[in-house]
Structure 1
Amino acid sequence: MSAFNDIRDYVAIPRVLSLKLSPDGSRLVSVVQSLNPDGKSYGTALWAIPVDGEPYRLTRSAKGETAAEFTDAGDVLFTSSRPDPTAKDAGDEVPALWLLPRAGGEARQVATRPGGIGAVRTAGDVVVFASDVLDGEEAAEEERRKARKDAGISAILHEGYPVRYWDHDLGPGRTRLFAARLGVADQDGRLEDVRDLTPDAGDALRDTSFTLTPDGATVIATWRVPLPRGQMRIELVAIDVATGERRVLVAEDDHDFTHPLAVSPDGTRVACARERHTGLDVSVRNELWIGDLATGQGRGYAPDLFPTDVEWAPDSSAVYLVADHQGRRPVFRVPVEGEHTRLTQDAAAYLGLNASPDGRFVYALHSAVDRAPGPARIDAVTGEVDDLPSPAPRPDVPGRLTEISATADDGTTVRAWLALPENASADNPAPFLLWIHGGPVASWNDWQWRWQSWIMTAHGYAVLLPDPCLSTGYGQEMIDRGWGNWGPRTLADLDAIVDVALARDDIDGERIAAMGGSFGGYMANWLAGHTDRYKAIVTHASLWNLDQFAGTTDASMYWQREFGEPGSERYANLSPHHALDKITTPMLVIHGDKDYRVPIGEALRLWWDLRRSEVESKFLYFPDENHWILKPGNAVAWYETVLAFLAQHVLGQEWKRPDSVA
C-alpha cells in the first residue's frame, strides 16, 4: 500500500512549490503547501533549506505565507493575510507585506494596501510590489472599498476587454506598482514613503511580470497595450523608481514580450520570452529574447526552446534556461555570444533556477513524471545533479515508468511515457488508460499534483502519457503540423502511439479507456465522436462547441487568431459537437463552475446533448472549483468518481456511487 491507494492519503502529501536563494548563497527559502488541520483546505509556510544542512520551518500561521524574496541584507520579505498583532483594527484580511529578520525573531508587517499586496521584488534598499487599486482618489480608497462592501455592490462596469481571467473577475480595481525604501520606516517598522509608480496604468499591468535592476533604480515590467477589435500586445517598459518616468524598452507589432523575465547582474541586459502573434496559418512560437537595457536592441536565442524559467549567470555572460525537450525539461546554458548547450542530461524537469553568487552551482526544483519536486544543486560546469534535503519528502510511486514511441502516418515520431503497475506482465496484463494532456501547447514531462497518473497505476491501470502534435519540446514542426487541425491530426498521432502500447503483452488491449482535461478534454470529446475503440471516456473542463467556447472564454482574442472569425469554416471542421450522433461510448463529464478559461457552458451543453441523445453518461459538477479541482475534499471526489466510472465500464464491475459524492 502507498499514499496513492487512498486518495485521502494522497491529498495530504506536503508539496514544495518554490525556491529562492539568499544573496550570500548560504540558504534557500521555499514555500511548502500542506493540508490544514481541518482537512478541508491547504495552507502554506516558509521553510529554510541550508545548502549544507537540514531544512527547518521559518513561519507558521493560519493564513499561510507566499511570495518569498530575500533583501540584500538577507532578510526575507513575504506576503500573508495573517493578522497584524500591533494593529488596533484587523480590517479586511487582504495580503500584506511582512519582513522576517535574518538574525531571527518574529516577522513584522511592513506594508499594507487596501487592495492587498501581490508580487514583490527587491534590490539594494528598494522594494517594489504590485497592488490592486480602485480608480479615482487614492487617499479615499479604503473608505470607498468599505462603502462599496457595506452597500452590497458587486457590480463591475467594464469599458474594455477582457473581463475575467482563469478563475477570477477583473475589476473594479486594477494593478499598479508601488515602490518604497527598506531603510525608511516608522516607529513600528512599517515602510514609509510608499510611492505609486504607475498611476496611469489602467489595465496595462494585469497579470504583469516585473523585476528590478540590481541597483534598484529601474523596474522592468510587461505592459499590455490594447489594440483595435479586442486584440492586444505586450511590450516591455522601463520605469524609473525615483521619478516614475516610463519608457518603452521594446515593442513589436507581431510579438509579445512576457514572463520569464530577468535582468543581468551587471544591469545591462534583460532576458525574457518573446512570443509571436498567431494567425490562421501562423503557429505559436516562443523563444528567449535578450536585449540591451539602454537601447532596447536585442535578438532571439535558441528558437526551438520555449522558455519556462530563466536565470543569469553571475558574470552576466550567459542565461540558464529551462525548456521542454523530448519529454523532459532540462536546464540549458545560453551564452550571450555563442551556441546554447544542454547542461542537465537526466530525464528530469527543472524549475525555479537560482545561480550561486560564485557561479559554481545552479539551484533548482528537481522533479520528473515519477518524482515529486524537491531542491537540487546542479554543477554549472559538468551538469552533475545532487539532491538536497527536502522539507517535503518525496513519496515512492506505485509502479514503474518506461518510454515508448511510434511513427505516425506522416512519418513523424510520437513519444510517450508509460506508467505501469509493478505486477503488470504477460500473465497479468493491466487495463489501459490513455491520458491526454492539456494546453494544447504543452508536454507530459513533470510531476503532476493535479493530473496524477500514479493514482490510476496504484489501482491497476497502465497509463499512457503521450506528446502528440502541438506538444512542446520537439521543435517547431511538431506544433505547426497540428496548428488549426486539432482533432484529426492529434487523433492520428494518438492512434499510432496507442497501437504501440496495446501491442505490449503486459497491457490488456480489450479493457481500455481514455481521459483528458482542457485541450485533453477537447480530444476526449473528439475521440468519443470519431472512434469506438474505448470502453469509457472521461472529459474534464472540455471544449465541446468551439464557436460557443471562443466567444465566452476569458481570452477570446487568442483563440480567434487560430480559428478565425466566429462562424468560420475552422469552427465547423473542428468542433466536437458536430459528431454527437456518432457517440456511443459511455462518458463522464466533469467541470467546475468557476472555470473561466473553459466556461461551464461547455459542460452544460455537452451534458444536455448526451442526455437528449441517450448516451450513457454522468456529470460530476463542482460549483466552487475552477479549471482545476484544488480543494482536498473535491480532489477526493474527483478521483473516486473517475475510478468508479472506469471500474464499471472498463473492469466490468457493478456501478458503486462513491461515498464522497453520496
Structure 2
Amino acid sequence: MKPSDLPLLSSVSRPTIHPDGTRAVTAVSRPDLVADRAVGQLWSVMLDGSGARRITRGVSDSSPRFSPDGSLLAFVRSPAEGPGQLHIMAAGGGEPLQVTDQKLGIGAWRWSPDSRTIAFTAAVAEEGRYGTVTNLGPSAEPPRRITTLKYRSNGFGYTSDRRRHVFLVEVPRVDGEPPYATAPSVQNPKPDIAAGVPEPRRLSDGDFDHGALAFSPDGSTIAVVSARHAERDLDLANDIFAIDLRTSADEVPTAIQVTGPNRRYGISSVEYGPGGELWFTGGDLGENGVDFVGRGEQLWISDVRGESARLLTDPATTDLDGELLVTAEGALVHALDRGRVHLLRISSDRTVSPIVTGDLEVHGTDAVEDVIVVSYTAPASMGELGLVASGGMHPLTDFSASLRNVGVTPLEELSVTARDGSEVHGWVLTPIDQEEPHPVLLVIHGGPFTQWGVSFFDEAQVYVDAGYAVVMCNPRGSAGYGEAHGRAIRQRMGTVDFTDVIDFLEGALARHPMLDGGRVGVMGGSYGGYLTAWTIANDHRFAGAIVERGYLDPEAFVGTSDIGSFFSDEYTGTDPRLMREQSPQALVGQVTTPTLVIHSEEDLRCPLSQGERFYAALKRNGVDTELLIFPGENHELSRSGRPRHRLQRFDAVLEWWARYLPSVANPGT
C-alpha cells in the first residue's frame, strides 16, 4: 500500500439485521481525497450470500438500525456542512425523512420496542454559544467561567457549556404528506419556514452528561449512563439511571439511580434482558473511582432488586471492548485476546461460549433469534460483514478487494522471551521480493492499554511497501493479556515496557537475517510517542526517531490535557520525584538521535505544548530535529483526520526516513 491508496481503506459499521433474518445493513465509509473528508453510505447485504448493494447516497450516512417491527430503517446522516441528524426511511427503500434538528447534532440513540418513538442524546448549547445567537461568532462569545477540573474533551472541545441530554421523539410517517413552506403575503411578508421535523420531548436536565441508552422490554423505562454523584469531577465513575416515561409530557421525569453505591463503575454500555434485568459492561474503578490502569471492561448483571450487580467475567483474564448485545441465551460481547477480538456469549450463570474466534477482530454484532452477523477486520481487510453459522463465520462482503489488489504484506507472528523471562508477543512484516537486508522500523502503539492486532494496519503496510521491515509488539502495559500484564507499568512507566520493546526488537533481529540490525529507526504516537522519546534517551542505536502526539511531560500534562486530572496521577503518580523519573522531558538532554516531532494544533489529549517543549529542548541541545504541526487536527489525526492531512503526514514520515534511514524503495535524494 502506498500513501495515495488511502481512499481504498473502506471500514464497516456495526450491522443491523432485518427482523425477518434475510438481510443486514451496514455503513461503509472511507477517506476521500477529493472531498477531503470521510464519506460513506449504507449498504444492504443479503444473508444468503447473493450480494450487497448501496441503498443511500448521502455524503456520510452511518449507524443504521432497523425498527423492531421491521418497517423502517433509521440512520444518522451528516451533510457536507453541519452536524449529523437522525433520519428514517422505509425498510424497503425510499427517500429518507429527517427526524431530528439538533443544533449540535445527536449522539447515542435507540428505537423503542414498539417502533413508535426513538430516544437519543444531544448536546444542548448554553444560550449565546455555538451559534445559538445569529451572527455571534466564537470569538465574540462571553468568557467561560471554569469551576471544574474536567471541562474539555479531545475532538469535541468545551463540555461544561453543552451537556449531553436525553430526548424522546415520535417517529413520523414516511408516507405522509410532506411539509411545505408558507409563501409570503402582504399580511405575513416573512413567514416562518416550516422545517417539518418533529419536536422532541426532553427527558433530562442538570449539569450532567448522558451516554449509552436502552429501553426496557415494555418500553416504559429508559436506562441511561450518567455521572451525577457529588464527586464526579474528581473521579471517573458513572452509574445507570432509570427514566420513567409514564409521566406527564410537560415535565422532565425524575431519573432513579440503579447501580451503586456499593461499587464505583466506569460503565460504557447498558442493555435490558428479555426479563427486564439490566446487563452492562464497564470497569471496576476501585474505592477512589480512578483506579483504571490496566483494568479491562467486564460484564455485569443486575437481576435482583435491591442487591448489587453480579460480576460475570474474571478481571484477571478477561478484557472486553465495551460492545454489548443481550439475547435470550445471554450476552454477546467482544473479548480482546493476544491481538485478536473474539465474539463470546456469556450467560447469567457465567457460562462462556466462544462464537467467533480466529485471526480477526470483531467490531460490531447484531442478532435476530439464531441469526448472528458481525462486522470484523482481518489481516487483509479493513472491514467486512460475516454470517455466523454452524461451520464457523462465513464472509458476506469483500469491500477490501481493491485494497488487496494493490498489495497486502502478510504478518508474521512472533513471541520473544524478555530478559526477566516474561513473554513479549507481536508481529513482524518484511518487504516482499527484496534481496538486500531491510532497514527496520520499531513501531510502538499508543494507549498504553491497547494492543497491536492481527488486522490490516495501513501504517505498517505503507512502511513495508517503502522497503522497511516493521516490528510491532505488545509490551507490558498493553491490553489483551490479562490484568497483571496491563497494570505492570502503573507508576513504573519506562521500565519493563521499555525493556520489552527492546528485547522484542533484538529477538526479531536474531531470528530474521534479512533484518539489518545496524539500520534501525523507532516511532510511535501518544503513549507510543512517550516510549519512543524514552527509548532514544536510553538507547542510542537508532538512526532516527519520530515522536508523534506524545505524552512527554507528566508534570505539564496536569491542567492542560482533557485527561490531565487523572491520567498522570494513576500512571506516573503524584510525587514530583517519581514523576520526573518517568518523564521523557526530564531525560531529553540525553537524546542524540535525529528526531521528527509531529503534533496537531487542536490536540487536547496530549496538548501541542507537550511536543513543543520536547522539540525546543532538542533544538537547544543541537539535535537534528523538526516540528511538524497540523492545523485543525486533534489527537486522532492519523486515524480520522482530514484525508489530505493524512496523506501529507505519510509523505513527511517517509521523507524523514529517506533522509536518515533510506531503503531500496525509499532512497531519498
2:34 paired with 1:45:
no
How far does residue 350 in structure 1 lie from its aligned partner after superposition? 0.6
Residue 390 and residue 283 in structure 1: after superposition, are their counterparts in 2 closer, same or farther (change >3 A)? closer
SS of match in other structure, 1:487: coil
Deviations 1:536-567 (A, max 9, x none): 11111002211001331101232144157755
Q: How many residues align?
A: 631
Cα 1:18–1:145 shift into 2, 3 Å: farther
Matches within 5 A, 1:200-599: 200=206, 202-205=207-210, 208-225=211-228, 226-227=230-231, 230-243=234-247, 244-252=253-261, 255-277=264-286, 284-292=295-303, 294-295=305-306, 297-303=308-314, 304-312=317-325, 314-315=327-328, 317-355=329-367, 357-359=368-370, 361-379=371-389, 384-391=392-399, 393=401, 395-396=403-404, 397-423=407-433, 427-447=435-455, 452-503=459-510, 504-563=512-571, 566=574, 568-599=576-607
Contact 1:276–1:285 (8 Å) recurs in 2:
no
Of 213-222 and 471-480, the range deviating more from structure 2: 213-222
2:165 counterpart of 1:176: yes
Matched, 1:153 2:141: yes
Q: What letter matches 1:20 in structure 2?
A: T
State the distance in 1 between where 2:631 and 2:351 align: 50
Q: Does structure 1 conserve the Cα–Cα contact (< 8 Å) formed by 2:149 and 2:565? A: no
The SS at the match of 2:403 is coil
Tell me, yes or no, if the aligned pair for 2:573 and 2:579 is still in contact at 8 Å. no
In the TM superposition, what is the alpha-carbon distance from 1:652 to its structure 2 partner? Answer: 7.4
For 1:656 and 1:550, locate their aligned partners in 2 and report how far apart those are by CA, in whole Å.
Answer: 42
Unaligned runs of 5+ in 1: 84-91
- Please state if 1:98 is matched with 2:87: yes
1:86 is matched with none
**Contact 1:324/1:445, CA 8 A, preserved across alignment:** no
Tell me how far 1:193 sits from its aligned partner.
6.1
Aligned to 2:141, what secondary structure does the other structure show? coil
Q: Deviations over 1:492-531 (max 9, x none)?
A: 1111111110111121111111111000000000011010
The aligned amino acid for 2:125 is L
Contact 1:212/1:218 (CA < 8 Å) preserved in 2?
yes
SS in 2 for 1:646: helix
Structure 2 Cα separation of the partners of residues 253 and 569 of structure 1: 35
Please report the RMSD computed on the Cα atoms of aligned residues, expressed in angstroms. 2.9
Q: Could you tell me how far apart the structure 2 residues matched to 1:79 and 1:157 are?
A: 33
Which residue of structure 1 aligns with residue 75 of structure 2? 78
Q: How far 1:144 sits from its partner (Å)?
A: 4.4
Amino acid aligned to 2:51: E
Query: Which one of the candidate residues 122, 132, 135 is aligned to 1:131?
Result: 122
| Contact residue 334 and residue 344 of structure 2 kept, 8 A | yes
- Distance in 1 of aligned mates of 2:423 and 2:284: 26
Q: 1:607 to 1:268 in 2, by over 3 A?
A: same
The answer to whether the 8 Å contact 1:525/1:576 transfers is yes
Contact conserved, 1:45 with 1:66, CA < 8 A, in 2? yes
CA contact (8 A) 1:430 1:508 kept: yes
Deviation at 1:141, TM superposition (A): 10
1:198 and 2:194 are equivalent in the alignment: no
Distance 1:352 1:270, change over 3 A: same
Q: TM-score, normalised by structure 2?
A: 0.87
1:333 positional shift: 2.1
- Superposed CA offset, 1:286-309 (max 9, x none): 322122285463211222222114
Distance 1:282 1:639, change over 3 A: closer
**What is the alpha-carbon distance in structure 1 between the residues aligned to residue 462 and residue 131 of structure 2?**
49
Counterpart position of 1:56: 53
How far does residue 585 in structure 1 lie from its aligned partner after superposition?
0.8
CA contact (8 A) 2:363 2:375 kept: yes
Cα drift, residue 655 of structure 1: 11
Q: CA deviation at 1:115?
A: 3.4
Residues 398, 421 of structure 1: 8 Å contact kept: no
Mapped to 2, the partners of 1:216 and 1:506 lie a distance apart of 63
Match for 1:633: what amino acid? R
**Structure 1 residues 253 and 569, CA gap change in structure 2 (3 angstroms):** farther
Looking at structure 1, the residues matched to 486 and 67 of structure 2 have their Cα atoms a distance apart, in angstroms, of: 41
Q: Sequence identity of aligned pairs in percent?
A: 22
Assess if the C-alpha contact under 8 Å between 1:166 and 1:627 holds in 2.
Answer: yes
Taking structure 1 as reference, are residues 167 and 32 closer, same or farther at Cα in structure 2, changes over 3 Å only?
same
Residues 309 and 353, structure 1, Cα contact 8 Å, conserved in 2: no
Letter in 2 for 1:585: T
1:167: which partner in 2?
A: 155
Output the amino acid matched with 2:224: A
Which residue pairs with 1:89 in the alignment? none
Q: In the alignment, is the contact (CA less than 8 A) between 2:662 and 2:668 conserved in 1?
A: no
C-alpha separation in 1, matches of 2:355 and 2:311:
20
Q: Which range moves more in the overlay, 166-175 or 503-512?
A: 166-175
Contact 1:440-1:520 within 8 A present in 2 as well: yes
Per the alignment, residue 88 of structure 1 pairs with none
Q: 1:656 to 1:599 in 2, by over 3 A?
A: farther
TM-score by length of 1: 0.88
- 5+ residue gaps, structure 2, are 180-195, 248-252
Closer, same or farther: CA 120–394 of 1 in aligned 2, 3 Å: farther
Q: Distance in 2 between matches of 1:625 and 1:579?
A: 28
Is the contact between residue 647 and residue 655 of structure 1 (CA under 8 Å) also seen in structure 2?
A: yes
CA distance in 2, matches of 1:266, 1:188: 40
2: CA distance, partners of 1:115 / 1:39: 22
Quick one: which amino acid aligns to residue 55 of structure 1?
Answer: A
Alpha-carbon contact 2:297-2:322 (below 8 Å) kept: no
1:613 aligns with 2:621: yes
Moved more, 505-514 or 598-607: 505-514
For residues 552 and 193 of structure 1, what CA distance do their matches in structure 2 show? 39
Write the distance in 1 (CA, Å) between the matches of 2:304 and 2:386. 32
Partners of 1:635 and 1:350 in 2: CA distance = 25
1:129-158 deviations in Å (ceiling 9; x for gaps): 11121357xxx9999443744993274333
SS in 2 for 1:77: strand
* CA displacement, residues 1-41 of structure 1 (integer Å, 9 cap, x when unaligned): xxx13x12234443324322223322222122134473422
Task: Give the direction of change, closer, same or farther, for the CA distance of 1:312–1:574 in structure 2 (3 Å limit).
Answer: same
Structure 2 distance, partners of 1:563, 1:389, is: 42
Deviates more, 1:522-531 or 1:621-630: 621-630
SS at match of 1:146: coil
Which amino acid counterpart does residue 236 of structure 1 have in structure 2? I
Aligned to 2:183: none
Question: 1:238-268 CA distances to partner (integer Å, 9 max, x unpaired)?
Answer: 1123332311110246532422333224432
Structure 2 partner of 1:604: 612
